[in-house]
Structure 1
C-alpha cells in the first residue's frame, strides 16, 4: 500500500516552469532535433542547483501550442493506454560529478523524437522523457587520476560549504530521486505509466528507489514513488563492497580499486559495514517479492552491460542477477544493446533508446 505520511510537505509547485522550444542532438544523427522542453524544474522548495529535473516532449502541433504555458501536467495523463508512455532517466557520474547532469539524456531524446523509424520498429511510443538531477558527493583532493577529465575536487570544509549541491551522503541521493518522482507523480506520472532507467550509479539509484521502501534508506517520511512498469539498468553499479575489493575486480579493473573506495567512502560513508544495506545486489529477495505483490515494484527488470566497459566489471551485473533470480514473481531479462566504453550509451543516445524499445516489447509479451 502506498505511503502518505502527513509529515511529507509535498512536491514543489511547477507553475513557475514553462514549456519552451529547444533542440537536442546525437552524434549518430546528422541534424539537430526540435523538441519542447521544460528544464531544471526544482522538485523541492529552496532547492540547490542540482535538485531539479527536465522534461522533453516531441515537437508536434499539439505540443508546440504549449510553448510559454506553465508546466501543469505531462501530456496524455487524461488517457489510459495499455503500455507505458513515459521514460524517466537517472544519469550516472559515480555519485560525484556535477558536470554530468539531466542533459546527458538528450542524445537519447534526439533519437526518440527524431521522427525516424529504426529498422523493424514503428514510430516512438513515448510521449515524454524526464531526466532527474540529484545532489552529488564530495571529491577528494587531489582529483582522481583514473579519470581522463576529472571534475574539480570539492571538500565542504576546505571550500567553506560554497556549493551545497556537492555535499550529498547516502541517503541524500535516493531522497532527491524520490522527491523528483513525487513531483512527476503530481504531474500525472502513475503506476505502470513509465519505465525507470538509469546508467552507472543512476542504475543503482533507480533500483534503490523502487526495490526497497523509503524507510529502508531511513527516508520513512517520504511516500512511495509511482511504480514503474519496468526497471532498466545500464552499465550499473550494484554491489558496493565488491567495487572496493581487489579480489573481485579482476585484472582489467583492479587499478580502479583505490578510486572506487574513495568515491564510495564520500558517497556512503567510511563505515564499509553499511555498504551492503545500500547495495541492490544485497537486497532481500523476499522483500522485493513482497513489494511486487503489493504493487510497489515492477514485475520486469532489464539489465544490460557492455563487455567493453573500462570502468565497471561484468560481475556487478552478475552479482545483481544472482539476487534478482531469487525474487518470486519477477521477470529478469538480459539486454543486448550496450557496446563500447562506459559512457557510450548516454553519449550516443541510440542504445538507451533501443533498450527502451526492447523493454516495451518485453512488456507487450507479458500481456
Structure 2
C-alpha cells in the first residue's frame, strides 16, 4: 500500500546517497505526525536503502485502513495521526564485498564515510525535512540496527537545554564546516518519540559477545576499537534528560534476532531508565522474526509505531 501514496525523493546534499524519500498521506495537516525511518546495513551495505521502509509503511496503512484488520484504539489513532512517512539514506562506509577504486570513483559516489559522517547526514536530512515541510518536533524517529544507533546518537549529541540555540549557532556551523556535513541548516528539532529497533548501542560490548567477529565493520564505521565507546549511545558521557527533554524513548527487539542479541536492548533500556522518567521509556521485547526479517515483513514495526502514536495521542490530549 505504500505504492498508493504520492512519493517524492529529495537530495539534501551533493553525494548521491544524501537523499530522502517522502510518502505523502496527509502532508498538509501540521497537527499530525511524520514517521521518519533510518535504515540499517552495518553503516556500509549499499543494498540497503531508504526503500526498505516501504513494507512497514504498507503494514501501518493496512492496520489502519478500515478497522477490519486491527480495530484496536492504537490502529484508530494511527492513520488519523500520520501526516507523512520519510526514510533517510546517508553516506556509507567501505564494504569489502563492494569495493570501489578511490582514484576512479567520483567523490559524490564514493562510499568512504566514517563516524560522524553518517550522523551528520541524518542531522542534515532531518533539518532539510523540517525546513521543507515545517513539522517541527511532530515526528517519530525510528531506526533499525545501525539506524537505531544513529537515532540515539542524534539524541546524545544534541545541544543540551542550556545551549543558546539548536539552530544556526556559530559552534554548530563551525562543526559542520569542519566535518563536511551534508546540507547544513543547523541541528534539527528533536522528535516527539525515538524508537530503536534491534539496535547497536554498545559496539565494544556487542563485539565481545560475538567473539570479535564484528570488528571489521565497526572499525570501518568508527575507526579503531579505542574510539567505539565515544560513539556508543549506551556509554554516552552526559545525560539524555539534558538533551532529550520531553519525548518518548522506545526500544524494540525480537528474541529471534540472530545478529544482535537481547542484551543490547536490555542494556540500553537500563541506561534510558536511569536518565529519563520511567513513563517516558517504552520497551518491546516481543517482536517476531529474524534481524532483517523484522523490516522485510514490517508488521512488528507497524505495531510498535502505532502504540507510540497512541501514547503520543494521549499526551497531546487526543489531538
- TM-score normalised by L of structure 1: 0.72
Question: How far apart are 1:154 and its partner, in Å?
Answer: 1.9
Q: How does 1:210-229 map to 2 (within 5 A)?
A: 210-213=155-158, 219=175, 223-229=186-192
Partner of 1:268: 222
SS in 2 for 1:244: helix
| Cα separation, 1, equivalents of 2:89 and 2:35 | 15
Tell me, which stretches of 5 or more residues in structure 2 are unaligned?
Answer: 160-170, 178-183
Deviation at residue 329 of structure 1 after TM alignment: 3.9
* Corresponding residue of 1:347: 296
Mapped to 2, the partners of 1:100 and 1:43 lie a distance apart of: 19
Please give the per-residue CA displacement for 1:310-366, whole angstroms capped at 9, x wherever unaligned: 000111112212211211446211125521100122101222111111111222344
Q: Which has the larger radius of gyration?
A: 1
1:197 matched residue in structure 2: 142
3-state SS, counterpart of residue 243 of structure 2:
helix
SS at match of 1:340: coil
Describe how 1:72-87 pairs up with structure 2 within 5 A: 74-77=27-30, 81=31, 84-87=32-35
Instruction: Find the counterpart in structure 2 of residue 53 from structure 1.
Output: 20
SS at match of 2:87: strand
Unaligned runs of 5+ in 1: 1-22, 25-32, 64-73, 141-151
* Residue matched to 2:166: none
CA separation of 1:198 and 1:189: change in aligned 2, threshold 3 A: farther
Task: Map 1:65-104; keep pairs closer than 5 Å.
Answer: 74-77=27-30, 81=31, 84-104=32-52
One of 56, 65, 69 as aligned partner of 1:108:
56
Distance across 1 between alignment mates of 2:134 and 2:293? 29
Question: How many angstroms apart in 2 are the aligned matches of 1:235 and 1:328?
Answer: 20
Is 1:35–2:5 an aligned residue pair? yes
Q: Indicate the RMSD between aligned Cα atoms, in angstroms.
A: 2.4
Partner of 2:232: 279
Does structure 1 residue 235 correspond to structure 2 residue 205?
Answer: no
Matched residue SS, 2:244: helix
More off after superposition, 108-117 vs 355-364: 108-117
Q: Structure 1 residues 339 and 285, CA, compared in 2 at 3 Å: closer, same or farther?
A: farther
Partner in structure 1 of residue 265 of structure 2: 317
Count the aligned residue pairs. 287
Q: Which residue of 2 aligns with 1:360?
A: 309
Q: More helix by proportion, 1 or 2?
A: 2
Which structure has more relative contact order (CA 8 Å, sep 6+)? It is 2
Alpha-carbon separation, structure 2, partners of 1:205 and 1:231: 11
Query: Contact between 2:100 and 2:110, CA under 8 Å: does it hold in 1?
Result: no
Q: In the superposition, relative to structure 1, how do residues 170 and 321 fare at CA in structure 2: closer, same or farther (>3 Å)?
A: same
- Contact 2:255–2:285 (Cα < 8 Å) also in 1: no
Contact kept? 1:345, 1:351, Cα under 8 Å: yes
Of the candidates 281, 288, 301, which is equivalent to residue 249 of structure 2?
301
1:66 alignment counterpart: none
* Preserved CA contact (<8 Å) 2:40 2:143: yes
